[in-house]
Amino acid sequence: MGIDINRETLLPLARAVRVFPHGTRASTLFRWITRGVRLRSTGERLRLEAIRCGRKICTSAEAVQRFLDAQSEDLPSSPGQRVRTPAAMQRASELAFKEAEEMGV
């Protein structure tokens, strides 16, 4: 899904940072646009949607909401629950397979 300029509120990065906690910079948003953040549950990269508006890069209030919602879905469902990274899940799977082989299963 992309930003629909007819239905969404465009925000230059300098204004979009005001949505985030104090200390978040436009460079952080640019990094989220270009590199994204890795979701712990799936290992996929999530990027903040953006468009180029002349010489400026803009996002939208709605794109920010989608970005934050997608990250929030990645949170553990209960406070004490730990989320394993894809690499940790792979190591656990390999260890379990090795243990099963040693037991003759």
Walking along the chain (105 residues) 10 residues at a time, the average pLDDT comes out as 88 91 90 92 90 92 92 68 71 84 80
Residue 98 covered by a domain: yes
Can you give the pLDDT at residue 20? 85
Can you give the pLDDT at residue 2? 87
The predicted model scores a pTM of 0.68
Can you give the pLDDT at residue 83? 62
Residue 5 covered by a domain: no
Provide the token pair at 103: 């037991």
Q: How many beta carbons lie within 10 A of that of residue 2, not counting itself?
A: 10
Residue 18 covered by a domain: yes
Can you give the pLDDT at residue 45? 93
Classify each residue of 36-48 as buried b or exposed e, where b means 16 or more C-beta atoms within 10 Å of its C-beta. ebebbeeeeeeeb
The Cα 105–Cα 103 span in angstroms is: 6
The Cα 13–Cα 18 span in angstroms is: 9
Can you give the pLDDT at residue 9? 92
Residue 80 covered by a domain: yes
Q: In terms of residue numbers, what domain contains 60? A: 10-103
